[in-house]
């Protein structure tokens, strides 16, 4: 998702950008939401906690905070745009029925459908069309082939060891080089 | 994790940053500083692209 956002010329913001454990995570997230005019919530990430077997409700909580800002927050936030993603069609009708009627894009857990959904949503209202979802997805596949060598060069242990801000700098550097190296429109 | 996105303008007192283009889109640098030196990141990406140039060329 962050790859697609960056490829469309936007800056993804998330709590992973900050490592200061002193800040309450939810407050940090609220600050980030307030600083941005656009936001994306993937409510499919309500996975079960491995130890307790209970679902994690962080994503619906954050979506609720975002909707509250748009509906009852300062006037400047009334026009904020929100994209909701889920893995399965109409699952949210059962699990999150209060948002029934909202546009929810379904991705089936497929990264290429996530890329297309994000690109198409960001493309709305653009004067110049953004790169197509298929092109970004192909560049993302190419990027994934580079990741092991990039990680090795940076002397990190694995993909997850790359801090999120550093990952975004890698993406920013890699996108133009991949476009040139692939040599396709 | 919400992936909230926003356009961002550089502050007037900051030096102009190198702007990269991708498929006609002007890319924006991440909102927070990297922990790894940028020169090291750039070198790592360049090396990876060079190493995989053959497989990248015309890849679908």
Domain of A30, CATH number, reads 3.40.50
Contact of A130 with A119, CB cutoff 8 Å: yes
Identify whether A157 is part of a domain. no
Residues in chain A: 185
pLDDT at A16: 78
Identify whether A155 is part of a domain. no
* Residue in B3, B25, B41 nearest the CB of A14: B3
pLDDT at B2: 54
What pTM was computed for the model? 0.87
Least confident of A21-25, A90-94, A180-184: A21-25
Residue-wise pLDDT for A72-112, tens only, equals: 999 999 999 999 999 998 888 888 888 877 778 999 999 99
Among B20, B21, B30, B55, the strongest candidate for a mutation testing the A interface, having the largest count of A CBs within 10 A, is B30
Identify whether A110 is part of a domain. yes
Whether pLDDT at A184 is above 80: no
Identify whether A59 is part of a domain. yes
Shortest CA gap A41–chain B (Å): 5
Contact of A14 with B2, CB cutoff 8 Å: yes
Mean pLDDT of chain A, nearest integer: 88
Instruction: Between A185 and A167, name the one with better pLDDT.
Output: A167
Total structural domains in chain A?
A: 1
Range of the domain at A31: 2-129
Distances (CA, A) of A70 to A41, A80, A93, A99: 14, 6, 21, 14
Phi, psi at residue A105, to the nearest 5°? Answer: -90, 135
Q: Is the ipTM of this complex over 0.90?
A: no
Nearest CA in chain A to B33: A165
CA angle B36–A5–A56, rounded 5-degree value: 85
Identify whether A82 is part of a domain. yes
Identify whether A9 is part of a domain. yes
Identify whether A135 is part of a domain. no
Q: Which tokens sit at A34?
A: 């307030």
DSSP state of A172: H
Identify whether A151 is part of a domain. no
CB of B16 within 8 Å of any CB in chain A? no
Nearest CA in chain B to A167: B34
The closest of A158, A164, A159 to A5, measured between CA atoms, is A164
pLDDT at B23: 95
Q: Who contacts B36 (Cβ-Cβ below 8 Å, separation ≥6)?
A: A154, A163, A166, A169
CA angle A86–A67–A95, rounded 5-degree value: 40
* Residue in B25, B35, B59 nearest the CB of A8: B25
Q: Which tokens sit at A144?
A: 């994934």
């Amino acid at each position: 998702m962050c790859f697609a956002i960056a490829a469309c010329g936007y800056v993804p913001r998330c709590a992973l950008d900050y490592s200061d454990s002193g800040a309450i995570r939810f407050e940090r997230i609220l600050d980030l939401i307030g600083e941005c005019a656009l936001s994306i919530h993937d409510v499919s990430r309500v996975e079960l906690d491995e130890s307790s077997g209970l679902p994690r409700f962080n994503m619906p909580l954050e979506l609720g905070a975002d909707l509250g800002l748009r509906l009852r927050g300062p006037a400047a936030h009334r026009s904020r745009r929100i994209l909701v993603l889920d893995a399965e069609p109409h699952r949210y009708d059962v699990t999150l029925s209060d948002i029934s009627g909202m546009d929810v894009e379904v991705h089936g857990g497929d990264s290429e459908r996530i890329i297309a959904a994000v690109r198409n949503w960001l493309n709305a209202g653009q004067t110049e069309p953004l790169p197509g979802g298929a092109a970004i997805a192909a560049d993302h596949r190419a990027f994934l082939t580079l990741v092991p060598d990039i990680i090795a060069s940076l002397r990190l242990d694995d993909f997850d060891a790359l801090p999120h801000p550093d990952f975004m700098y890698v993406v920013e550097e890699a996108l133009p080089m991949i476009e040139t190296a692939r040599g396709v429109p | 994790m919400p992936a909230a996105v926003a356009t961002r303008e550089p502050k007037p007192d900051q030096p102009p940053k190198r702007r990269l283009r991708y498929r006609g889109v002007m890319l924006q640098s991440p909102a927070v500083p990297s922990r790894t030196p940028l020169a090291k990141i750039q070198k790592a990406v360049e090396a990876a692209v060079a190493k995989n140039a053959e497989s990248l060329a015309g890849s679908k």
